[in-house]
Amino acid sequence: MAVDHKTIQVICAGGFRAAMEEIAPRFTQATGVEVALTFGAPAKTRELVSAGAGFDAAVVTLGSLNAEASAQLDEATRFIVAKSPVGMGLRAGLSRRSIDTVEGFAALIRSLPSVGLSDPKAGTNLGMDIIAAATRLGFGEDLKSRAHFIEGPGSVVSAAVAKGHPEAVITLVSEIITVDGVTFTGLIPDAMGLGTPFVAAAGGQAQAKAQAQQLLDYLRGDVALAIMTATGLVCGPSALPKTGQ
Cβ neighbours of residue 43 closer than 8 Å, sequence gap 6 or more: 64, 123, 124
Q: Which of 82-86, 128-132, 233-237 has the lowest mean pLDDT?
A: 233-237
- pLDDT value at position 82? 95
pLDDT at 14 over 60: yes
Instruction: For residues 134 and 145, give the distance between their C-alpha atoms in angstroms, rounded to a whole number.
Output: 12
Q: What b/e sequence results for 159-187 when a residue is b if at least 16 CB atoms lie within 10 Å of its CB, and e otherwise?
A: bbbbeeebbbbbbbbbbbbbbeebbbbbb
Q: What is the pLDDT of residues 23-52, one digit of tens each?
A: 999 999 999 999 999 999 899 999 999 998
Q: What is the pLDDT of residues 153-184, one digit of tens each?
A: 899 999 999 999 999 999 999 999 989 999 99
Strands, sheet with 196-202, edge to edge from the N-terminal-most edge strand = 34-40, 7-13, 57-61, 196-202, 79-84
What single-letter amino acid sits at 59?
Answer: V
- pLDDT value at position 122? 86
Domains, the chain, with CATH or none:
7-83+197-239 (3.40.190.10), 86-192 (3.40.190.10)
Mean pLDDT of the residues in the chain:
91
- Where does the pLDDT of residue 237 fall: very low under 50, low under 70, confident under 90, or very high at 90 and above? low
Q: What is the pLDDT of residues 122-152, one digit of tens each?
A: 888 999 999 999 999 999 999 999 999 999 8
- pLDDT value at position 126? 93
- pLDDT value at position 238? 53
pLDDT at 241 over 50: no
Residue 37: count other Cβ atoms within 10 Å of its Cβ.
Answer: 14
pLDDT at 203 over 70: yes
Residues 103, 184, 58: CA angle, nearest 5 degrees: 110
Residues 241, 243, 245: CA angle, nearest 5 degrees: 55
**238 or 213, which is more confident?**
213
Q: What is the mean pLDDT of residues 227-244?
A: 70
